[in-house]
Amino acid sequence: MVSLPFLFLAARRPVLRRLALRNAARRPRETALVVLGSLLGTSIITGSMVVGDTLDASLRQGAQTKLGPVDELVSTSSATEQGELTVALQALDDDSEAIDGVLALTTLPAAVAVLGPDGEALRAEPTATVVEVDFGAARAFGGDPAATGIEGPTPAPGRTVVGEDLAEELGVGGGATIVVYAFARQLELAVDRVVAQRGIAGFSPGFGSRSPNLFVAPGTLAELAQAAPAEAAPPSTLVAVSNRGGPLEGADATEEATAAITAHLGTAPGGLSAAKSELLADAEAVGAEFTELFGSIGFFSVIAGVLLLVNIFVMLAQERKSEMGMLRAVGLRRAGLVGSFSLEGWMYALVSALLGTLVGIGIGRVVAGVAADIFGGAEQSLELTFAVDPASVESGFTVGFIISLLTVALTSLSIARVNVIRAIRDLPEPAPPRTRLRALVAGAGIVLAAGAWTAWGIPGDEPYATLAGPVLVLAGLVPLLSRFLPRRLLVSVAAVAVLAWAISAFGVLPDAFEGVEIPIFVVQGVVLTAAAVALATRNQEAVGAVVRRLGGGRSMAVRLGLAYPLARRFRTGMILAMYSLVVFTLVFIVVLSNLFSSQIDSFTADVAGGFELQVSSNATNPVPVEEVRSRDDVVAAAALSDADAEFLTPRTEGEFEPWFVTGIDEVFVGQGPTGLGDVGTYPDADAAYRAVLADPGLTIVSDFFLQDGGGPPEEPLEPGERITLRDPVSGSARQLTIAAVSDSSFAEAGAYVSQDSLRELYGPRATANRILVATSDAADPEEVAAELNAAYLANGAEAETFRELVATNLASQTQFFRLMQGYLALGLVVGIAGLGVVMVRAVRERRRQIGVLRALGYPSGAVRRAFVVESAFVAAEGIFIGTTLALITAWQLVGNDTFGDDLPFAVPWAEVALLVVVTFVVSLLATAAPAQQASRIRPAVALRLAD
């Protein structure tokens, strides 16, 4: 649609069409550079959407591989209840239009191993799931046997069917023997066959792509559980419901099915969860989150692309100034000139948007691949399914195209405003009058509107109005006051004030910026760089004087190299803005990344409390805590119980949200748990923890409690607030009061309650499935962890030191920062391409001047050096502005505890220096070719062509 006016113009105005086409074809190499520079914006937008699509599709894949026909799951508290519910729902199945299948499944987390001849474990999977299901019923479940992944008969007692994930992990196939460890017993099973990871065969609700399942004969788990020790959770008894429709479409009927189930039973079953629709909603949310994340950080590069386009078009107009004057003189109206430029720009925008979309798909593939690797830990690896939604391609193309087109159209409007005689004679435009009425009116309008926005935004803690409102007021004051004060002074003062505000706003009005999302940082970056570039551009002469002094006043190359960027303020400002913006974001990310990764010791101390390592194990076969306590190298061992839970809080808008709960014991508190950020009414952390131990109605939560997504916590709960804890299986609930809030940056802990409190609510399912271990001074925690892993393999023990845990977490975080840096570096390509384009055009524009200089005796080497000095000056200034702003902003944010308390500010000088040097050197390399070309200009040729 947006192309219609251009197509109409091209069809109806052949002269404009010819002019646009021939101008575009006039210099193919430069046209290619223009297209390259502008396509990156589209590719970044498309890329961010493809990242979202791919992650969405990868997670949605789980709907088929891990759930198949399962749409809802009901957790029951016993096999009896499971049986009754299955029968009741089967009756519904016969009548209901919403559901088409009911299936009873019993699952048990267990360790599984392949043993050697001497009984040693050759291969093991500590977190396998033993599934008991009737294969006939499973295959019939949902009406599409292929979607269930179940084949053949139900395994007989003593035999098993293994899912392909587990088979791969253990390296087994049909005929092999494996050993299952559960309830302190071991069960030897012969493998009948391997089934594909699909539907019921791949059954695994939850995050991650893996389903290490093995299927056993009915009754096997009940028999195993008979001799279960007191400290062991029973198997999970589930009833799966399949809605009408395929694995994906079925989720659409979840509401209807839930209503039907509730109506049929007379009440909503306690443990009912919409497994499929939740998984799909999560997939959509993760996809959208990634699209927003990469779209937001990529926005800096998009702005750089827009600046590049503006710069190119202004340069084109300058180069063609006399032609434009002639065209106007021979009768072409200003609208025609705008049309000609716009038509040419439309062609560039179209080609670059098309190519940019293709490049964006490639970028998205690479980014999604790296992101999947980062998120894919060994336990929860996410298998990547590359996907491109045609709607994303269409949106990426459209947004990129419209941004380019708007830029081109607005720039064309501005540059077509030429005085015919001045254009023909290539005379400079006179300086605009100091105070034009139009500028005064615009300034007054901006001040009034922005003032009102600020007045509305600051009291309401509205982050955008708080940050940008005062900035716009200052910007509007410049034209208003320029009647009374010199413009340079005004712009400089306003720019300094804007810089001060944009840097300090987060500290001055912290409430307005609590829980803000990435786009506010994008606005902050844009405001900061715009102000710094305005300041630099208005004071270029002073900057140039300093550089000249440093660079040697006698050097002709320095003199000439500085003369052009100082004289061409607009052009220099545009390149400066591109460089500053991109370098700002890159350095900022580098500093942030380092802030976290260098804090391994303090983070470890933060999350470990008085312990060195933790041992997680299967709830059905937990590691006996007394055995761990009895070791010589162990000083103390706290038994914690982690369990899935649901919470209703004043922030969850009436809905229960999933999180987990942790039961704590006396040893945990005595040994020194993690610190607390807010102890509420208690004198210290110890008192708060002891209160929770003593009172089952109290809890301690982390400030990341119920938070999703990255970044600082949004509206964390406070001491004194009341929340409701519900057991998702039994539906039993309890009111809790928040005693204190921990500021541990790792969401490792659930809401802390006392063991007794948890046991009251969860019954035998509250087992000590996590042990925190304090080792003796002489012991090496890593060795202790390794020994515990070996000793308690049968319990599915996973012992890990806190240091290792923190290091793994930080490594993922660092990798993710690297990914963002890589993505942001695309903006650097725009900046460097921009500098290259400007220098190539500068050579052409100054051909005659270079000829004169050479005629006067200017050596060719000095011409080359002058061009290098010119680009070095602009690049260095941009890099300096970007780096300085990034360091100040990061320092300010860290100082305000935006990323948590006690995070010391440190600059990774080596990394920053590397970034700066690489950017600078690549910028010079981009200038090498035009500089060489300039030095080869023969004076007579240049003068002859020019005259």
Partner 1 sequence: MTAAAAAPADATATPVPILSARGVRKTYRSGVESVEALDGVDLDVAPGEFVAVMGPSGSGKTTLLNCLSGLDDIDEGTVMVDGQPIHELSDARRTRHRAASMGFVFQAFNLIPVFTAVENVELPLLLAGRGPKEARARAEETLERLGLGERLRHRPPELSGGEQQRVTVARAIAGAPKLVWADEPTGNLDTETAAGVMGLLTDLHAGGLTLLLVTHDQAIGASAGRRVVVRDGRIVSDVHQPPSNDGVMA
Q: Which residues bind partner 1 (CB under 8 A)?
A: 427-428, 553-554, 556, 559-560, 563-564, 566-568, 848-849, 851-861, 938-941, 943-944, 946-947
CB of 562 to partner 1, least distance (A): 9
CB of 23 to partner 1, least distance (A): 23
Check: CB of residue 801 under 8 Å from CB of residue 785. yes
CB of 534 to partner 1, least distance (A): 21
DSSP 256-277: HHHHHHHHHHSS--TEEE-HHH
Q: What is the rounded distance in angstroms from the CA atom of residue 629 to the CA atom of residue 775?
A: 10
Give residues with Cβ within 8 angstroms of 515, minimum separation 6: 712, 713, 714, 715
Check: CB of residue 201 under 8 Å from CB of residue 65. no
Nearer to partner 1, 29 or 554 (CB): 554
CB of 877 to partner 1, least distance (A): 17
Nearer to partner 1, 7 or 946 (CB): 946
- CB-side exposure of 730: number of CA atoms within 13 Å? 18
Q: What CA dihedral angle connects 646, 648, 652 and 653, to 10 degrees?
A: 130
- The type of residue at 748 is E
Nearer to partner 1, 537 or 614 (CB): 537
**Backbone φ and ψ of 163, nearest 5°:** -70, 155
Nearer to partner 1, 266 or 857 (CB): 857
- CB-side exposure of 674: number of CA atoms within 13 Å? 28
CB of 937 to partner 1, least distance (A): 11
Nearer to partner 1, 572 or 795 (CB): 572
CB of 341 to partner 1, least distance (A): 24
Tell which residue, 392, 399, 394, has the closest CA to residue 49.
392
Name the residue with tokens 């802390």. 752
- b/e map 788-812, b = 16+ CB within 10 Å: bbebbbbbbbbbbbbbebbeebbee
Q: How remote is the C-alpha of 847 from its chain's centroid? A: 47
CB of 574 to partner 1, least distance (A): 17
Nearer to partner 1, 306 or 863 (CB): 863
Element (H, E) at 188: strand 185-195
CB of 838 to partner 1, least distance (A): 15
Q: Exposed, middle or buried by CB within 10 Å (0-12, 13-18, 19+), for 458? A: middle
**Would you state the structure tokens that stand for residue 655, as one six-digit string?**
């809905």
Nearer to partner 1, 152 or 553 (CB): 553
Nearer to partner 1, 553 or 650 (CB): 553
CB of 572 to partner 1, least distance (A): 11
Nearer to partner 1, 830 or 853 (CB): 853
- End-to-end Cα distance, the chain: 45
Tell which residue, 332, 364, 350, 353, has the closest CA to residue 54.
364
Q: What is the rounded distance in angstroms from the CA atom of residue 537 to the CA atom of residue 874?
A: 11
CB of 944 to partner 1, least distance (A): 7
Q: What is the rounded distance in angstroms from the CA atom of residue 241 to the CA atom of residue 89?
A: 8
3-state secondary structure of 286: helix
Nearer to partner 1, 4 or 431 (CB): 431
CB of 553 to partner 1, least distance (A): 6
Nearer to partner 1, 308 or 560 (CB): 560
Q: What is the rounded distance in angstroms from the CA atom of residue 817 to the CA atom of residue 843?
A: 39
CB of 321 to partner 1, least distance (A): 12
3-state secondary structure of 518: helix
Q: What is the rounded distance in angstroms from the CA atom of residue 29 to the CA atom of residue 36?
A: 11
Nearer to partner 1, 391 or 855 (CB): 855
